[in-house]
Structure formats: structure tokens, C-alpha cells
């Protein structure tokens, strides 16, 4: 007999305790005591059938609900997987886009040959530091540097060698700069420029001396130089506390003038010019 079968007992026992035990142990749906009427028994059976059908319907609905829950779990899991995959793809695409933008930004501010700041970056940085140090009333130094007899170097060793020479010199100067705030940029041709925030004239001279020493250690041959058998550099130095009413062009003009003097005095040297 199925555990779900509903049972009805017909009894003639008058002992209520015995009837109660029978109901309890047999898990009866109902008991009908004698004398019983056929109509009562019929109604009892109909009610039992109705109750059984209701229970079966509930069981079926529960099974259907469980199946729907399983399908929903699978769908939710699939949706979560799809969302995770799309999120990962989106993050990957965003990372690529960010990297591409960073590369574009770098291209916009770097010299393609020397991989140092270009003229545009130099102008922006110099203006920013000029305004900042004007507020703080602190020194800003500038060094213009030019390779000596570089045209003759290119004529003798060809332009590819000239490029390698420029790269070696710019790397050496970059290593000579000790602070992250110091900026080396290509001003044009073989002319380089160094921005030294918070640097007085004495500090700028120390930087120039260190640069000269490091370039001398490179010992890049230059047979057509009139001052040395190796590549040398001339530098013009200036330093001032920025003031309102002046612009960074003031600093540029003074440093350029000092570089011109260094060349006129025989090259392979630096000249300091201050206001």
C-alpha cells in the first residue's frame, strides 16, 4: 500500500482509547463508527478522494516549482557567467583603451628619437614651474646645452651615427639628473634644455659640472672637433626667482645668451648668466 493512500476505518468498538490508538498507529484519514449510514460513508469517501487529489495537486505543483527553481538557478548561473565574461571583455577593452590613450599622450610629449620630453612638454612644464615658484618665491634654473661641432660630426660619421651620439648624450644627461622634478627636453636639433626647479645658481653649476664629467667619460670620438678628440658640450646656465610681470621667456632668453657666450669663449664649457 502506498504511504500516500488515505485510509478510512469502520469500527464497532465503543472503546474510545482503542479507536484513538488505531487512528494514531494507522494514520487514518477518518474513522466511521457503527452503526454507519451508507450516505455518510459515501460522503467520507468523496471527501477522502477530494483531499487526496488536492494533496497530489500540491505535490505536482511543488515538483513543478522545484523544477522551475532549478531552471531559474541554471539561468541565473548562465546569466552570471555571461555577465562575468562580458565584464571581463569590457575591462580588457578598457585596459587596452587606457593603454592606447597613455601611449598617445606619451607620443604627444616625447621626442621620438631621444625618448625625452619634446618642445611642447618643455613649454608646458616650464610655465607650470614658473607659476608655482613665483608663488613660493623660490629659484628656478635653466640649462641650455648644445653639442660642439655637431654638424661636422654628422658630415664625418653620417646622420645615423649622429642620432646614436645624440641618444647616448641625452641618456647620460638624464642619468646625471638626480631629482624626479628635473626635466630634460629636446629644444631643437642637437640643442637640449634642462629645467631645474628649486635650484639656485650654485646648484645649477653643480649639475652642469656633473654633466660635463659624465659626457667626457663617454669618449665618443670626434675627429673634426676643434676643441677635443671626443664629443663635448657647451652649456648656458641661468637661475632666478620668478616674479610677476615676467614670463618664462625671460629665463629662456638669458640661458640662450649664456650658451652663445660659452660657444664664443671656445666651447666645451658652461657660462652662468643671471639678472
Active site residues: 190
List, in sequence order, the alpha helices (H) in the chain.
16-26, 38-109, 119-136, 150-176, 201-218, 248-264
Q: Cα(116)–Cα(8) distance, rounded to whole angstroms?
A: 98
Residue 186's nearest CA partner among 166, 213, 158, 208 is: 166
Which residue is associated with the grid cell 634642462? 194
How is residue 93 written as a grid cell? 577593452
**What does the DSSP 8-state code read for residue 241?**
-
Cell of 123: 613649454
Calpha distance 205→203 (Å, rounded): 5
Contact 153, 228 (CB under 8 A): no
Listed in sequence order, the residues at least 6 apart from 197 whose beta carbon sits closer than 8 Å to its beta carbon are: 129, 132, 133, 138, 140, 141, 181, 182
Residue with the three cell numbers 539561468: 75
Residue 50, classified by CB atoms within 10 Å of its CB into exposed (0-12), middle (13-18) or buried (19+), is exposed
Amino acid at each position: 500500500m502506498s504511504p500516500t493512500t488515505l485510509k478510512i476505518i469502520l469500527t464497532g468498538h465503543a472503546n474510545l482509547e482503542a479507536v484513538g490508538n488505531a487512528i494514531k498507529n494507522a494514520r487514518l484519514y477518518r474513522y466511521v463508527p457503527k452503526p454507519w449510514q451508507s450516505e455518510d460513508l459515501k460522503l467520507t469517501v468523496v471527501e477522502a478522494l477530494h483531499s487526496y487529489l488536492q494533496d497530489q495537486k500540491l505535490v505536482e505543483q511543488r515538483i513543478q516549482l522545484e523544477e522551475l527553481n532549478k531552471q531559474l538557478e541554471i539561468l541565473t548561473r548562465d546569466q552570471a557567467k555571461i555577465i562575468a565574461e562580458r565584464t571581463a571583455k569590457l575591462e580588457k577593452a578598457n585596459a587596452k583603451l587606457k593603454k592606447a590613450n597613455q601611449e598617445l599622450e606619451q607620443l604627444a610629449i616625447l621626442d621620438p628619437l631621444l625618448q625625452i620630453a619634446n618642445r611642447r612638454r618643455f613649454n608646458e612644464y616650464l610655465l607650470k614651474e614658473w607659476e608655482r615658484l613665483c608663488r613660493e618665491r623660490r629659484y628656478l634654473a635653466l640649462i641650455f646645452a648644445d653639442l660642439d661641432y655637431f654638424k661636422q660630426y654628422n658630415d664625418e660619421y653620417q646622420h645615423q651615427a649622429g642620432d646614436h651620439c645624440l641618444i647616448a648624450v641625452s641618456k647620460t644627461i638624464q642619468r646625471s639628473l638626480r631629482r624626479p622634478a628635473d626635466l630634460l627636453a629636446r629644444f631643437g636639433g642637437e640643442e637640449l634644455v634642462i629645467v631645474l626647479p628649486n635650484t639656485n645658481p650654485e646648484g645649477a653649476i653643480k649639475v652642469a659640472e656633473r654633466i660635463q664629467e659624465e659626457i667626457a667619460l663617454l669618449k665618443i670620438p670626434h675627429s673634426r672637433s676643434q676643441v677635443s678628440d671626443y664629443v663635448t658640450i657647451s652649456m648656458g646656465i641661468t637661475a632666478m626667482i620668478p616674479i610677476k610681470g615676467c614670463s618664462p621667456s625671460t629665463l629662456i632668453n638669458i640661458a640662450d645668451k649664456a650658451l652663445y657666450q660659452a660657444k664664443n669663449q671656445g666651447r666645451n664649457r658652461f657660462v652662468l648668466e643671471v639678472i
